[in-house]
Structure formats: C-alpha cells, structure tokens
Amino acid sequence: MNETRHRVLDALADGPVSGPALADELDISRSAVWKHVEALREEGFEIGSSDAGYTLDSVPEFGASAVEYGLDAPFSVEYHDSIPSTNARARDCAADGASDTVVLADEQTGGRGRLDRDWHSPSGGVWLSVLFRPDVPMAHAPVFTLAAAVAVTRAAREAGVEASIKWPNDVLVRHGDAERKLVGILTEMEGEADRVSWVVVGIGVNANVDPADLPAEAEPTSLLAERGDSVDRRLFTQRLLEEFDTLRQDPANVVEAWRESATTLGKQVRVETPGGTIEGEAVDIQFPGALVIETDSGTEIVSAGDCEHLRPITE
C-alpha cells in the first residue's frame, strides 16, 4: 500500500473527516482523496460518508491492505487468493531485487514442504513467505528458521492455542501422548559464504482449515480445530510478522527464545541425519540452531535432520 493511502486510512480511523479537510491534511487534491477512498472500498474497507465526512467502518478480513493496516513491522504485503507457492513467488521477488516483502495467500495449489514433499494448502490457511536480506554469513541463516518458529508459536499462544516447537521448526500441539502438526516452515536462501544475499522464510499455518482436509499421515491439526472457532487471520498474521520482525533483528537472542517455546529439550529423540540415525536425549540447542544429543556413546551435535520425539520407556 502506498504511503498516502496509509495516511488516508489513518485519518479515516480518527474520523469523521471531510473530503476537503483530508485533502488539506494530506496536501493532495479532492479528486485524489476520492480515488483513494474508492480504491480502499474496492479492497474491502467499508468507508461510510455522511454530512460529517468519511468514517472507517470496517477493515477487510484478510488481504494485503488488511494486514498492512495497523501492522507494526516494515513489511509490504502482496496477497493472492490462490497461487502455486508463496515461496516460489518470493524467490521471484528476490530475483527482482525486492526485500522486506511478504507474499501471502489464502490457498496454494503447489505448496512445497521440507525434503521435497508437497504441502497441502487449502483455502483458509495462512500461507506466507517473508523475503528479507539480513547482513549475516550464510552459516548463521538457520537462526531465522528458529525465529520464525518462535514467532508463530507466540502468535498461536496469543490466539489461545498451546503450541510448542519440535526441533528444528515444526510447531505442534500435544493431545495426550500424541503430537499434531500445526505449522511447517521451509527456508530458502542464496548468497556467498560470507554474506547472505536473500532469505525466504516460508511459513504454513493450518489456520481456518479442517484437519480432515489435510493428509492424515502428517497428523495435522489447525487453529480452527484447537480453538473450536475461526481465528482472525488478519490479527494472527500481524502478530506473527511483528514477532518475527523483532526476533530477526536480534539473532543472538533467538536461541534463548526458542528454548522457552520448545518441547524437544529433555526428550528422548531419534534424528534421521544425512550421516545416519542418532538416538539419545536432546539436552540443548546451540547457535544458529544445532541440537545437542547425549547418546550412549557420547555427545552428538546435529545441525539438520528429521526429528522424532520418542515416548519415555516406562517400567
């Protein structure tokens, strides 16, 4: 959304404000005011007009301007009702030189998951990719995946869902002994060893989605299923982006924030790594995201792999 349209919205929110007063305040013509008001109405903002002037009566449920309006983070949002993959689109934006851009969709038709899996993304989810250009070496980039997991966990908890992180970046909800997956994260990046050029953090949140519409083998849950009613996706997305923005600026503190939101530490785990399977107790996490595991034959430090929480052996 351009700067003037932002200011029109802010003025309307404090309204009623007359067209001429708005034109004076923003130093634009009356016809420009009218065009901004019409464009906002087309995007779903309900703008009333009476003798007293214009008033902002309601904000659309979801979309680019809806998320940008009131967002306390410097992202511009590009919204699609349906798109193959927000990560693929964000990569294209990166190739065009963009930064601090969020690609957001209601539905993905070709969503991608980790390990080249499909990611089912029906209408009602929060499917988004954040493109940014941090000034860090490539080796530090995994910390942004952890930051995304923390951000989305905090947003879910604020929405009343007791989510927690399974290393490195699955966000789960416990159901007795079982764990159901609420969120998946897929990070992609490009750059030289000493400096990242861009990072795309793709976050898939099963928001207002029925878990029965998702593949059962993923053992899915959703915000809708956990809460028993729909979540306000606009507010949820804003909280997620605001938390992520704060965390990405302070990579040194992300690991501690991750520890507070994670469920893996202290658990028996089995991790499938490129170098083989490692089993033991997960005892710590190290910057930028490696898991420390105590095994029968000593300490192992694992930086990537598929992690399974094992049930404690009861005698």
Contact residues for ligand BTN (CB under 6 A)?
Answer: 85-87, 108, 111-114, 117, 119, 121, 127-129, 184-186, 202-204
Give the residue with the Cβ less far from ligand BTN, 87 or 101.
87
Q: Which two tokens stand for residue 77?
A: 């949002």
Instruction: From residue 133, give the alpha-carbon distance in Å to each of 23, 41, 147, 166, 198.
Output: 37, 34, 15, 26, 4
- Among residues 9, 127, 156, 152, the alpha carbon closest in space to that of 68 is found at 9
- How far apart CA 111 and CA 116 sit, in angstroms, is 10
Give the residue with the Cβ less far from ligand BTN, 186 or 207.
186
Instruction: From residue 2, give the alpha-carbon distance in Å to each of 6, 59, 77, 103, 310.
Output: 6, 17, 11, 17, 50
Q: How far is the CB of 77 from ligand BTN (least distance, A)?
A: 14
Q: How far is the CB of 291 from ligand BTN (least distance, A)?
A: 17
Q: How far is the CB of 128 from ligand BTN (least distance, A)?
A: 6
In the bound state, the residue with its beta carbon closest to ligand BTN is 184
Burial of residue 94 (CB within 10 Å: 0-12, 13-18, 19+) is buried
Q: How far is the CB of 88 from ligand BTN (least distance, A)?
A: 7
Give the residue with the Cβ less far from ligand BTN, 156 or 185.
185
Give the residue with the Cβ less far from ligand BTN, 56 or 88.
88
Give the residue with the Cβ less far from ligand BTN, 66 or 130.
130
Q: How far is the CB of 315 from ligand BTN (least distance, A)?
A: 35
- How far apart CA 160 and CA 20 sit, in angstroms, is 44
